Each structure stands twice: as structure tokens, then as C-alpha cells.
Structure 1
Amino acid sequence: MAKTVNLVILGASGDLTHRLLLPGLGTLLKAQPKRRVRLIGAATDGLTDEQWRQRVSDALSDSGCGPKAARRLVSGTRYVGMDCTDPAQLQALLADLSEPVVLYFALPPAVSMRACEALATFPLPDGLSLAIEKPFGTDLASARRFNELLTRLVPEDRVFRVDHFLGKSTVLNLLGLRFTNRFFEPVWNRENVERIEIIADEKLALEGRSGYYDHAGALKDMIQSHLLLVMALLCMEAPNRIEARELRDLQAHVLRATRLWDDDPVAASRRARYVAGTLDDREIPDYVNEPGVDAARGTETLAEVTVEIRNARWHGVPIRLRSGKALGDGFRGIIGVFKPAWQPLGFHNLGDPNVVVIGMADEVLQLKLNTNGAMDKLDLEET
């Protein structure tokens, strides 16, 4: 029988755990009901074991996890009220667990750093793995310090830097779409593509997340992490093998070649924040009037950046990255607009450029093509 894995979530009372981690664990157990996981939640909030078990149970039921696997997980889970940055409390928590142990940091970046600094003060159990949620630090210097600290704690192959956005099936499907379809890969380049848009708009407003979001804003929260990595996956060269190291290296090549459009930060970007209004019958206040928001920070809720990948495949193709909150349509997806095709004389109108739309919120793939009109065969219509 496989060993039971001890999964410890630091920051277990927060939004990330509620919205993503617990439902994700339920999805895993739905697919692999025999997998053995002992779940421990840890945070400063004073939850009782019973309150914590109810949260876990609700998340598992919403995920479709089977009743037997759900009962096993819920009956064995517990909650520890603690300061996740205190060395003595962390050491006591780990000493009480058998191997293997996974520490999942569902914490703000600065708190994750302090928790790791605390871990460096005492011997860690063999086989310990660390799972770190983005963002990794608050800037380049802090990210480098964070990585250096992590390598002192555990080997690199036991550090998992997690971007939950990339775990969406529609994002992972980019690999299959790009590299297994004859019609797609040969034309996915600067010779044929006019522009690309990668958009992650949402209808939700702040929804009580001012503690994190008002310090980050749309640019740091979405573009410099999620959308740049989607771009790298979408625009990288073909791998010889679907393997972690090779995929990571190919994405890194794209990011190293990425520059702001025309090297002009002002012209290539824009930022804004939402104002009061009604969205889907909900009254939305001005962002600056949301609880916990400091208007002096000037935090943006919409960020847009146009970049260029300066390599042989993509040089000269503008790629627009955009994300915003409290926007009407809430579109999340990729739009690839192709250059106009040559067409013979005799048609009554010029055909629209071909467009491919890849939904990231739903598993939708649209291909917009020109066909002959229903009434007049010399009129071109988009289909």
C-alpha cells in the first residue's frame, strides 16, 4: 500500500485554500480515490477542528469527490492554530508528522519568505517537499533571495513553484493544439499571424481581497505571472519530449526574448481602475471606496501591456496582454488574428482576416473563416 502523504497547508483559512486548494484536492481524490492523504490546516485564525472539517467537507462535496474518499480525508484532518513564521511552532508541527510531508504555502509572498527563514533554523524531516504559490517574492531581488533560501532547505526537485492558472485544462491543451495539428503549427509564426491577444478579464470586483490585491494590482497579480507564462507556452518552439525541464527551458527562451513594444513603456501599456456602477444586478462601489483600499497607493484594477518576442518566429508581431476586474463580458481567452489571405479578383468584398479564439474559462475553440454568402456566392461572409 502506498504511503500516506501528510499535506500541511500554511495559511489554510485564506481565500486560496477555500477557492482552489481544497476543491483541487477533491478533484484529485475523485480521479484517484485510493490515494492516501492526511490533511493538516495551519493558520493564525482560531478555527476549531470541527469548523475546519466542515470547510473541507463542503469543498469536497462541491468537487464531486467520492463519499468514501471524502469521509477518510475529513475524519483524519485537523486544524492547528499557529504563527506560521514562528520556528518553534513550525518545528513542533513537523515533529508530530511521519514522512512524507508536503508543506503548501498558501501565504502572501513576504509571509512565505519569513516562514522559510524560520524553517532554516532547525533540521527538517527527510523527504520534505515545499509547494510555493505565486508570486515568488515582490520583485526580482526578493525572488532571487527566495530561490536561494529554498535551495538551502530542500533539493530543487522537491520545490514546486505553483501557478494555478497554468493548471487549467484549457491552458494545458495548448500543447496538444499547437504540436499535434497539421493545420495549426505550420502557420503559427510571424509570416502568417498579424497579432495575438491574451486576455483574462473577470466580472468579479475586489470581493474582500484588499489585503493582498491593493498591494499587488492587476499587473503583478495577473500579467507578470499568469499571462506571461501562457504567452510562453503559446509561443515557444516545439519540444522534442513533453518533459518538465525541456518545457521550462523553452518557455524561458521566449521570456528572455520578450520586450515592450517599440521599447516604449508609456505607449505600450495602460492602466485603470473600476468606478461605481452596476454589473449583473450587483452594485459595485468605486475601487477606492472598497473596504481596506488605500487610495494613495494608486493600485490599478486593469492592466494592459503590448510586447514583442524578438526571435525568428515572432519578431514584429504585437502580443497584447490584458487583465481587469469588474468588466462586463469577463472574457478569458486567446485571440490569434491572421494576416489577410490573397484572394482572386471577382469577389464583391474583401474577406475578414481568419481568427482563432481559444477560451481559457471554458473548453471552446473557435475558428473564424470566410465562406461564400448564402444569397450571393460572390459575397464573402465570416463563419
Structure 2
Amino acid sequence: MIQNLVVLGASGDLSARYLLPAVARLHAAGLLDDRQTILGIDRDERDDEEFRAAARARLARKAPDLSARDVRGVTDRLRHRSADVTDAAQLAAALGDLTGPAAVYLALPNTIFQGAVRALAGSGLPAGSRLIVEKPFGADLADARRLNETIHGCFAEDDVFRVDHFLAKQTVLNVLGLRFANRVFEPVWNALHIASVDIVWDETVALKGRAGYYDGAGALKDMTQNHLLQLLALVAMEPPTSTGHRDLRDRKIDALRAVRPPAADQMGALTRRARYTAGRVDGRSVPAYVDEPGVDPGRDTETFAEVTVYVDNWRWAGVPFRLRTGKALGQARREIVVRFRPVPHQPFPDTAPANRLRMRLDPDAISLDINLNGSGDPFCLERVHLDARFPAQQLPPYAHVLLGVLHGDPTLSIRGDEAEEGWRIVEPVLKAWSDGTVPMLTYPAGSGGP
């Protein structure tokens, strides 16, 4: 296990909301090396104790169930140095106390990723160090390619971790178990038996003060380009030889390369974009997106995105994959829905609906809708739901991802070619939306969407 974790942008929102609580969970579970250190670097002028006090306050808000002992066990590992993370000389001075390789986490706006990576290259970072990059990986396909080139000039691909915490969610991992550890599903996991697949991440939360990032991204870049396409890859991929990172990611990239985005003349039929207007969600008033603090109405940023794509291979020919995500909706819906085709012949007097498999991502659960003979008339059918609910994971997804980084296991991280394929798929949609080919719809906050 690598013993030095360096966080560039240590005082930012990402560190407070996800990274610091993940480290604390690993410590509480006894999964951190006793010699593990955490060095935070940013422009703030503060000493170690001030940094630790701020971390204690953040953990009190984000992980209030942690014991005082566990909080102290994490914060005692923290140190802070002030530096411009895009300046190689300043970064070298801040990293000067490292006694071995480090895992360097870019908890930074993606607009300065390249500058930070170039500064790391000139900082004298110890050999064997690793790089952790948050999404979004690049601003478009060309930018993602340039960023990959910059990274590969400094780090080997196996030492680069493009993290997507969705891949560590329990039900997401169960997609692999469901498909490849059960004989009953894989023989019917194809276009002959499956009619459609929906991958949905609907949220009730609105902007929550994230205008600085979100207004420049929008729903399609924020969710579809990375998270939802990664879920599609797991659903659509061919069986891997093993769950080793090379085998698993090779099969994912095969699936992503086969994804066909909508043609230019089909954008209006196969894509939708919208943003919320004023309304009420869970009893609270939500202003219109354009009236949220920090939002530039002229950007035409969407808060709802829906795209239907096809996977052009033998297994999935003709099956639509609908990717949908939105904010400030009336009901949280986070699931993968596989709709099977009807049986070829119905001997019963009433028509049985097709089977449906639902893999819910939050909370984690799987259900299968089947048809059985009713309890009254034996020839009348009843719909039955077979449900399996999972206990909460001991570790949150971010902690699983971070543990993989510290152990040097990139299985739950995205490879460079996967990140580029994500941009290849969404860029035609972004262009059509930018050109006004697809109108911007609206929906009241708290509704079911446009």
C-alpha cells in the first residue's frame, strides 16, 4: 500500500464532501497503514493545526457518526503546504518532505488539470507515484486526448486512476455477478430476448451551490458522458476472461466503441434537453435554474438530458439504450431497467406483460417482474415481483475507489481510451444542442420532467 496521499486542492468542495470522509471511513475500518500520511496543498496560507481544525469541522458535518477517536486518528495524519499547484518550483518545495512514492489526487477544476500535471512532471515527484484524476476528464474529445498525452508523458497508464465512484456502487458491481455468475441470465442477455434498456439517474436535488462547475457543464457532461456510459458498458460488454483490470476494461472499451450516437437527422427524435423552472421539491421552494445564484442564463445549460443510443454489434443490434438524468425532479429514480420481449405465443386468455429486471442503485436492490398463475382462476395470470435488497456497504463507494488507488488496483478506474470514447459518443449531441437543432424544454421543479 502506498503510504503518502497528496491532495491538490485540499480545501475545495470535492475534498470536503467525498475524499476526506472516504479516508476517515478507511481509517475507522482499520484499512489504512499506520504510516499513512495525507498532505494537502493549495493556495491557502495555513499551518498544519489550522488545516486539521478545518478537517475536523468538515468531518463533523459530512460524517457525524464517526467517533472522536476516529476523527483524531485521521486528522493527526494531515499536513498542509501552500503552493500554486501549476507552478513546478512551488510544487517541488511543497513535496520536498516526501520520503517515498505518493498517490496524488487532483481535487481541482478540470480546467487546470493539464497545468497541474505538467507541474508535477517538473516537481521531482518520487518514482512509482500515482495520479488520481476526477471527472470530467477533459472538456471535449480533443481536450481529453491532449490531457491523456500530457499524463502519459509523466505517468504509466497503470499508475493513472481516472476515478468514477459509480463503479464501486454495490448494485453496479452486482451487474457483473448477475450476468456472469448465473447461467440463467447470460443466455437471454441479447437482442433476441431484450427489447430495451433504460439507465436512469433522476435526482430531487437542485443546484446546491454548484453553479461554478455545473453551469459550464450541464447534465450531459456531468452525468451521461461518464457515469451513465460506464453503466452502459457493464450492461452491454461481453464476458471477460477474468475480473482483472485489463480483462474487464478491455471488454468495457469494446462495448463503448460499438456505441452509435444519434445521427444528425435523428437528434430531435432521440435526444431531449430541458431545465427546471420554479417549483417545489419535497416541500421546499426551488427557484428556476436561471435564477439560481451564479448561473448565466445565456449559457443555455440543461439540467435534464435524455439520449437514446444503439450498440452496433451482434449481441445488441436494434436494442435502444436510453440514458436519462435530471435535477430537481419530483422523485429520485436511480436504476437500470432491462425490458425483455414478450413470449412468442400466449396460451392464456389475458395478455401477460413482458418481464422486467430492475437494478436499483440507491438504495441498492434488484427486482425481477414475472407472471404466474393467479390464486383464484388458475388460468388468470398475476404479476409477481421477486425482490432482493442489499444491506448498506461497510464502505462508501469513494472509499472503495481510494482503497484501490492505495493498493495500485485500477479495476474500478477508467482507462484513458474509455474516457475518450465517452466524449466521442456525446460530442455529436452537444453540437446539435449548441446549434439549436434540439429545442430547450422546461419542466417545473418537483415534476416528473419534460
Shorter-chain TM-score: which interval?
over 0.9
2:6 matched to which residue of 1? 8
CA distance in 2, matches of 1:15, 1:122: 25
Q: Does 1:318 align with 2:320?
A: yes
Q: Given that residues 33 and 66 in structure 1 are in contact (C-alpha distance below 8 angstroms), is that contact kept between their aligned partners in structure 2? A: no
Corresponding residue SS for 1:71? helix
Q: Which residue of 1 aligns with 2:55?
A: 56
- Specify the alignment match of 2:394 in structure 1: none
The structural deviation recorded for 1:111 is: 1.2
SS of 2:362's equivalent?
Answer: coil
Q: Which residue of 1 aligns with 2:332?
A: 330
Q: Determine the structure 2 residue equivalent to 1:225.
A: 226
Rounded to whole Å, the distance in 2 between the matches of 1:109 and 1:335 is: 32
Query: What is the distance in 1 between the residues matched to 2:54 and 2:191?
Result: 49
Q: CA deviation at 1:70?
A: 4.1
3-state DSSP class of the match of 1:267? helix
The letter of the residue matching 1:21 is L
Q: Which amino acid aligns with 1:243?
A: G
Shift of residue 74, structure 1, vs aligned partner: 1.2
Q: What secondary structure is seen at the aligned counterpart in 2 of 1:119?
A: helix
How many residue pairs match? The answer is: 380
Match of 1:341 among 327, 343, 346: 343
Identity %: 46
Q: Residues 47 and 367 from structure 1, CA distance in 2 versus in 1: closer, same or farther, beyond 3 angstroms?
A: farther
1:110/1:316 CA distance change after superposition, 3 Å: same
- Distance across 2 between alignment mates of 1:52 and 1:104: 17
- Secondary structure class of the residue paired with 1:90: helix
> Within 2, Cα distance between the matches of 1:335 and 1:62?
32
- CA distance in structure 2 between the partners assigned to 1:55 and 1:342 by the alignment: 63
The answer on whether the counterparts of 2:6 and 2:105 sit within 8 Å (CA) in structure 1 is yes
- Residue 17 of structure 1 pairs with residue 22 of structure 2: no
Please name the residue that 2:259 is paired with. 258
Task: Give the deviation of 1:59 after TM superposition.
Answer: 2.9
Equivalent residue of 1:245, what SS? helix
Matches of 2:278 and 2:80 in 1, distance apart?
39
Deviations 1:275-312 (A, max 9, x none): 11110111110000111111100000000100000001
Q: Structure 1 pair 68/381, CA: closer, same or farther in 2 (3 Å)?
A: same
Aligned to 1:265, what secondary structure does the other structure show?
helix
TM-score (norm 2): 0.80
SS of the aligned residue for 1:104 comes to: strand
In structure 2, C-alpha distance between the alignment counterparts of 1:34 and 1:67, rounded to whole Å: 17
Give the deviation of 1:35 after TM superposition: 1.9
Partner SS state of residue 223, structure 1: helix
User: What corresponds to 1:287 in structure 2?
Assistant: 289
CA distance in 2, matches of 1:256, 1:63: 43
Could you tell me which residue of structure 1 aligns to residue 147 of structure 2?
146
Q: Distance in 2 between matches of 1:148 and 1:343?
A: 55
**1:112 Cα offset (Å):** 1.4
**Structure 1 residue 189, shift from structure 2 partner:** 0.7
Spell out, residue by residue over 1:120-158, the C-alpha distance to the aligned partner (whole angstroms, 9 max, x if none): 334332222111111111111111111111111122221
Give unpaired runs (5+ residues) of structure 1.
none
Partner of 1:166: 167
In the TM superposition, residue 65 of structure 1 has moved relative to its aligned partner by: 5.9
* Counterpart position of 2:426: none
Question: What is the Cα-based RMSD across aligned positions, in Å?
Answer: 2.1
Q: Helix, strand or coil: the match of 1:342?
A: coil
Go from structure 1 to structure 2 and tell me whether the alpha carbon gap of 1:28 and 1:55 turns closer, same or farther (over 3 Å shift): same
Relative to structure 1, the CA distance from residue 242 to residue 332 in structure 2 (aligned partners, 3 Å threshold; closer, same or farther) is: same
**Residues 121-200 of structure 1 correspond to what in structure 2 (within 5 A)?**
121-200=122-201
Structure 2: give runs of 5+ residues left out of the alignment.
385-450
**Does residue 41 of structure 2 align to residue 42 of structure 1?**
yes
- Counterpart contact for 2:52–2:75, Cα < 8 Å: yes
For 2:42, give the aligned amino acid.
Answer: A
Cα displacement (A) at 1:68 = 5.3
Residue 100 of structure 1 corresponds to: 101
TM-score, normalised by the number of residues in structure 1: 0.93
1:252-271 Cα distance to aligned partner (Å, 9 max, x none): 11111101256622321010
Aligned-pair CA distance for 1:24: 1.7
After the TM superposition, which of the residue ranges 128-137 and 41-50 deviates more from structure 2?
41-50
Is this contact kept in 1: 2:82–2:94, CA < 8 A? no
CA distance 1:44–1:82, shift in 2 (3 Å): same
Between 128-137 and 23-32, report the one with greater CA deviation. Answer: 23-32
1:89 aligned onto 2:80: no
Q: Secondary structure at the match of 2:143?
A: helix
Secondary structure in 2 matching 1:166: helix
Deviation at 1:364, TM superposition (A): 0.5
Amino acid of the structure 1 residue aligned with 2:186: E
Change (3 A) 1:33 1:238: closer
2:304 counterpart letter in structure 1: L
Deviation at 1:101, TM superposition (A): 1.1
